[in-house]
Amino acid sequence: MLSIFKKKPGGIIRHLKLEEFYSTLTDVEIEELKESLAHPYQLSNRPYVRDDLDKGNRTYGGTASQFLDTMSEGLSPNLRKRVLLEAIKRATDSVDKHFPRTKLAEMAYKNGDFTECERYCLDVINELDGKKFKDARVEAFSRLAIMYEKQGRIQDAINISERALSIGQHDGTKGGYEGRIEKLKRKASKMK
């Protein structure tokens, strides 16, 4: 929490109204965010510097959710998760929630937390807006299909693949979801 002795943040934090979230960060986490902001990849056409995060009058052209999602790249796993969760909390539509949830699902999968991975993937899928994601590849479908297959949940893998196929998704493989479904059905018949 901000003390009476600590100066209130300015910069992008104030512009995006992120003071409450910022007040929960440790000094080490603030330094990590400042380092991330000053990386060579930039969020604007005029490069940011470390102090733009919480000092001065710099602004950010997108939403708080988009800023946090972008800033999450390269952060330590614990801070990255907190930043992505805050991005979801501040999201105003399904698109703003989609990318942080997809990143959280991937992080959970890599950490072997399949329950959390499944939850984030299903959140992504259940909140899909068909118009906004019409031609986009939604990775949550293929992540679930792969995870279910590895867990031996073949029917679940078939079901999620069929659901993806029914809305015109492609998983990026040569055979697409059609090929995946056929392979899974062969695998299921061998298990009987």
Q: Phi and psi (nearest 5°) for 135? A: -105, 5
Q: Which CATH class is domain 93-192?
A: mainly alpha
31-50 residue pLDDT tens: 999 988 876 555 667 788 88
108-166 residue pLDDT tens: 999 999 999 999 999 999 887 665 666 678 899 999 999 999 999 999 999 999 999 88
DSSP-assigned letters across all residues of 81-125: HHHHHHHHHH--SHHHHHHHHHHHHHHHHHTT-HHHHHHHHHHHH
CA distance linking residue 109 with residue 139, whole number of Å: 13
Overall average pLDDT of the 163-176 stretch:
88
68-122 residue pLDDT tens: 999 998 899 999 999 999 999 999 988 899 999 999 999 999 999 999 999 999 9
- Position 8 scores a pLDDT of 86
Smallest Cα–Cα separation from 63: which of 39, 80, 87, 99?
87
- Position 1 scores a pLDDT of 47
Helix, strand, coil percent values for the chain (each to nearest 5): 60, 0, 40
Domain boundaries, the chain: 7-91, 93-192
